Each structure stands twice: as C-alpha cells, then as structure tokens.
Structure 1
Amino acid sequence: MPNAISGFSKLSKSEKIEWLLETYFSDKENARTLIHQYWNTDEKLQKLHDEFIENTITNYYLPLGVAPNFSINNKLYTIPMAIEESSVVAAASKSAKFWLDRGGFKTEVISTEKIGQVHFTFDGDFEALQAFFKNIKPKLFEDTKAITKNMERRGGGILDIELRNKSEGLEHYYQLHTTFETLDAMGANFINSCLEQFAKTFIQEAEKQLDGELEIVMSILSNYVPNCLVKAEVSCPIEDLKSKDISNPSLFAQKFKQAVNIAEVEPYRAVTHNKGIMNGIDAVVLATGNDFRAVEAGVHAYASKGGRYTSLTHCSIEDNIFKFWIEIPLALGTVGGLTSLHPLVKFALEMLENPSAKDLMQIVAVAGLAQNFAAVKSLTTTGIQEGHMKMHLLNILNQFEATAEEKEKIVEHFKTNVVTHSAVVEAIENLRG
C-alpha cells in the first residue's frame, strides 16, 4: 500500500510522473511511453492543455466525429460530436438524413433565464427581514455595477432578486433567489461574482439595520435552469414515414408513440430513454467546450419537475400528422472558458458557423431529439442490437488485436450475419485456425 505524499501539487510535471511510475506501475517504461505517446508534439499546445486543470500528466483523447445533413429551421448543419460510444454518431446521421426530406427539424428558444442563489440563515422576524430586503434591494444592484457593466452593455445582466422563505423545509433558512441573462456566455463566473457581492452587501447592511443573527451559508449559481428552455420537433404526414425499413407507416407511428408513452409513465424505461437523448446532447456539448455535467444535472432535474421521473421527449398523432418533440433546459455558452482556448472547440464552433448561445441551444436539442428518434425507431422495428453491434464490431476486433486482413474478412462475414460478441470471437478463432 503506497504512502501518502505531501506537496504533490508543487512537484514539476516530470517529478509527478516519476512518482506515479515508481509507486503504481510494475512496467515503468511501458507506462512512461504511454504517457508520452499522448502528449502533443507542439509544445505550446501541450502547455495549453496542461494548464486547463491541475496535476496534468498527459492528455486523454475522445474521438471527434461529425453528423451531416441536419436541416434546422431550413438551414443545413454538420454537427460535431465528441463521444466514445459506438453507433451514436451513425444514429444521429441516420436521423438527420431521414428527416431531411420530411421538413427537417424545427426549433425555438423559449426563454434564457439563468439562476443563482445566496443561501443564508436568519433567526429573527420574517416580516422584519422582508422590510430590510425591500429597503436594501436597490443597493444590491448598485454594489454589483462594476461586475455587471460589461454584461449590461451587451444587453444582459441581473434581471431580478427575490427574497425566498424556505424555513418550512429547513429551520431559519432563506434565499436571495436571483435571475440573470448572460447572453452568449454560460456565465458561471459572472453569476458567482454577483452573488458573492450580494452576500457581502447583505451581511454588512444586516449588521447595521436588522435585529437577529443572519449568517451567509454560501453563494452559488444553480445548474437547474427551468426557465432557460429550448424546444425542437419533427413532424410529417404519417404516410411520409414510409421508408426502406418502415413498410407500414401507420403501424410504425402507433408503435413509436406507444414506446414514448411507456417512457412517460415508467421511470425504469425513462432513465434509459433519456440516457439515449443525452448521448446526442453530451457529445455536442463536449465538442463545443461546454459543461456536460451541468447540462446532465439540470436536464434530469427537469425530467423530475412533476414529482416523478419521466421522458424528455413526447409524441402525438393528430389529423394523420406524426409529431415528435423535446423541450429541455440548456444553459450553454459560445464565448469564454474553453470556447476561446481549446483549438478543437474553436474548430467545432466554426463548423457550426460560430453560433450564438441561442443557436447552440437549438442545435444541441436537435442532436438529442435525433438520437432518441433513431433509438426508438430501432427498438420498435429491427431491435437495438442489430445496428449497435455492427458499429461495435471494430471495437471487439481491436480488443483481439485483429490484423487488417482479419478485419476485412470478418467485417465482410458479418454483412450477412448477426453480430454478437460470442459470434465475433468464434469467427476470429475459426479464421485463426
């Protein structure tokens, strides 16, 4: 068992690597080679990557793929996707092509409010707290002018500050609940800076004007943004759903709708259903330098807003029209953070023609809807494994270190045979005699 190390963060990069190698690896040279293989040969670029986080030793790569042919509000996009899971990019591309000749994707941004809160406790009279808040609210705005002036110049800033009484759930607990407009920035640093100034002003004024003990607990933005909403949908006459793998469009539409309805009422299915949506969303969020963990947390909270976890997508059949849509909260940015630092993020954003935050919200929502359409379509027609395992075939062959010649022969074999892990293993063994 290794001993604890003191002052690790103060070591140089090479010293950190040597300590790791000496402490954890039996084949030190192989581990060292692997670390070096993933370094960028451009020293300036590698230094940039080293400074994104702390204690960097090397880079961890994910594939960056593209899904073309997305018609969004009658404009064509090729969408970048960073993800390691087989079939996600293929499924998105297939959905894009399917809907390209059926009207494409229609989207709208419903609202763009973001939220931050100052959490505090107060053991005095609530009515006195209300009067105090009303009195100092203008000063809260005034004291953040230095922080908000640039954002306000662009049309954003602090929208409102509310005092919220949460003492029914937790004794003496209250909030300064604040809404923000951060335009093309995700705005985390901006929001948190404003909140910390609110807290400073609030406690200073409370000491002078308020009877009772008031204590600031914390000041932090919320990743739950139910008023930062975007909607994406597809629709067409039922007969237009007919395609190579949909011979009976009416039956397909009914079965598809039933599958979505199941995800609306059954949480066990809803979780997997929504995970598929997030395959598409996370891949674009990551490729464009945004925070996919924040998006995941906010989206899944939104899926539970009615008190029960449910599907993020919905389907209707009315007057012979098939309609499939998603409405989700997405707090995204196209300026600041990694968007101005990571070269591949800049590349991805340029590919999307340098979208605004609102544009990106719509593109990301479409990626999630497309992914979900492909998954539910497969589930209700051929089954999910046929397409997924064919895409996964090369991963299995790489696990067995198949040669180029072996790959060619086995891929050809499985063009007419069902792909399973055991079937691939058997094919490799038969080929190798």
Structure 2
Amino acid sequence: MAGKKRFGSVRQLPSGRWQVRYRDPATGLRRPDEKTYPTKTDAEIRLSQLEADITRGKWVDPDAGKTNFGEYADTWLKERGLADRTLERYEGVLRLYIKPTFGAGFVGEITTAKVRSWRAKLLEAKVGGATVAKSYRVLRAVLNTAVDDELIDRNPCRIPGADKEDSAERPVLTIEEVYGIADAIEPRYRALVLMAAFSTLRFGEFAALQRRDIDLELGIVRVRRAQAELQTGQLKVKRPKSEAGVRPVAFPASIVGELTEHLRWFGEPGSAGRVFVGPRGGRLRRSNFHDVWTAALDKSGLDFAHVLEETGADSVRFHDLRHTGNNLAADTGASTRELMHRMGHSTMDAALRYQHMRGDRDRLIAKGMDDAIKKSGIKPKKPRGRRKPPEDPKGTAGARD
C-alpha cells in the first residue's frame, strides 16, 4: 500500500489514514510527519511541501518546539544583559502574567489563538491595559528569539495593536501651582520641586546628581548618571541606559537663586557631593519621598480637582512636574527633537545627529520658561547671605554628615 517517492514515502495505516515519512535533514534518519492525512493525495501534497521547505531551508524541526516555555523564558531573561530595574520588571511580568498560562507548556504549542485568548482573559480580569500591553511585548520578544533559535517557524504574537499602550493623560500644573507646592514642601526639597518642573529630569537622575553636574553661571545641569531603586530596597547608581539619557539641560535663570540657596544649606560639600539628600544625609528614595510629597500637596491648600477631573488621574504625582515642564517647553516653541533631548528620550543616533543644536537652542527654551515664570507674577527668591538655614522640621545637621 506504500507509495514510493525519491524524497520520502506515504503509506496507509491500519486506521485507514495516510502517514508521511521523510528523511530528517539534520540526522539523515527517516521520520514520520507530525500528522496523518485522510487521503493518499493529501499525504503526497504534504510530502511535496516538506521537500520544498527542506530544499529552501525553511524546514523547522517539529521536535524543536518541544522546549518548556518557562525554562526557555528564564534563560532568555538571563541572556538579555538588561539593566537591573528592567530585569526586575520583565521578571515580574513573566511571573505574574505570562508563566501562569504558558509556563508549563512547550514553546511550539503557543498559537495565535492561544495568545489572543490569554490577552482577552487578562483584560477581563481587570489587569491594566498598559500592563497587558507590556506583557504582550515581553511574550513577543521571547518568541522572536525562539524563531531565531529555530524552535518555531514564526511568532504567534500577531495581534494588531496589542503592543500599544493607551496611557492615561497626566495633569499639567500651572506655574502658580508648582510654586505653591514648592512653598509647602519641606525646605530641603523646595529646589527639587522647582528643578523637576523647569529642567524635567527624572527622580532617579536627581537622586544621583552631584555638585559638579550643575553650572549655575550657564544655567545648565548635566545628567551623567541615574539612581535605580529596586524592589528589594537596593539602590544602584549607574550611567543612563541609553546615550540619549546622558545630556545637558538648561534651566531658567529665575531658579538660579533657589538652587544657590539649596546648595549652600542642604547639598553635600565637595564637587562629588550629592545635590539632593534626605534629612539625615541619606540617599533620596522614591518610596520615602512619597509621604513628603503627599504632605506638601495637603499643606499647599491647592485644589487639584479640576485638573484631575480633566485627565481622569487619581492624584497629582511628583512625576507630573516633569510632564508640566515638558508642556512649558513646548509652549516656548521647542521642536519635537529638542523636547526629546530635554527628556532624554531620543535614540543614540538622534542624540548624536542633533548634538550641534543643543547648547544655544536649549538655553532659549529655558529663557522662554523663565519668561513664563516672570509673566506669572511669581517673584523668585535670590541669595541673601542668610546666616541661618531655612527652617527644616527635621534639621540640617544630617545633610552635612
């Protein structure tokens, strides 16, 4: 009953179905196809397809996909060389959202239909849309590597738009509101609030900032490193993960006096001294600063209901100062490329390509923000040579330890 062909053969099984047998290009041994077929014609068509795939180098070993996904994902994660915080986030995404569904199965068993079902169940379980999108991107990245490793023929993550995040709009504060929070917060953090709004650095970049990074005469802060706070509580200071993150950023002349006073009373001494420290001289921690920030919002007496209602946000966050500053910069006429530079979001190639325009144009952006501050009627503080530091409920002695 077996029909012979040069490349392989087909034969009818006792069940009446037809089996395809062909020579494995890797081992040279005969092997059966993964499926059987209802007719001899169907089997012969499949045999021709296999021969064509092997001839074109498109054949994928069916056994290659029989690799445990959970173990493969763990190996994938270790081999990425990711930054600590990114590694932590990816590990959490895999553990919480991906492995519960795919971890015990084989890589080759994951189909587009299964990915679609997995994503739908996450959304039905009220997992945030941004988290679902991130989980989808991580799964797709793992399976892209599986394609490269020839474990599967193609990536089953093929759902249009599943990788997109619809991030909620964040509040944009007025200059008066920024200064209202700065007035209400503990004195050692006043300059931090103003710099966050008018230089738009990230919290981790402020935590790693040193005196030598600030040029008060030119009104420029140079970002050279950033602090990462891991879930274990460990703090790590390292160079930003991309070249775009290493950048000079101009800030308005209106806050030079504020920053001068801050460095005098609260900054650590020496060129390598940290600009922003905690009340006992410890490093800034996002987890600890949250309570300070919340207390300042309450003490300011400002009503943020209007801006929260407009955006759908549940609270005003410290990071919203960065968002506010970026909007102020845009209002001065800054181009998209210039905004990306200030934010540290451009790619390495883009950062190098537009490096020639950074100095003068960025200072013009800062001047435009300065004009907006003056127009608001705020009268920034200037250095007055005080003999006593501003009142600090937790004292300043620790800052100089």
Compute the TM-score of the two structures, normalised by the length of structure 1: 0.19
Specify which structure has the higher proportion of strand: 1
Give the structure, 1 or 2, with the largest relative contact order (CA under 8 Å, sep 6 or more).
1
Compute the TM-score of the two structures, normalised by the length of structure 2: 0.20
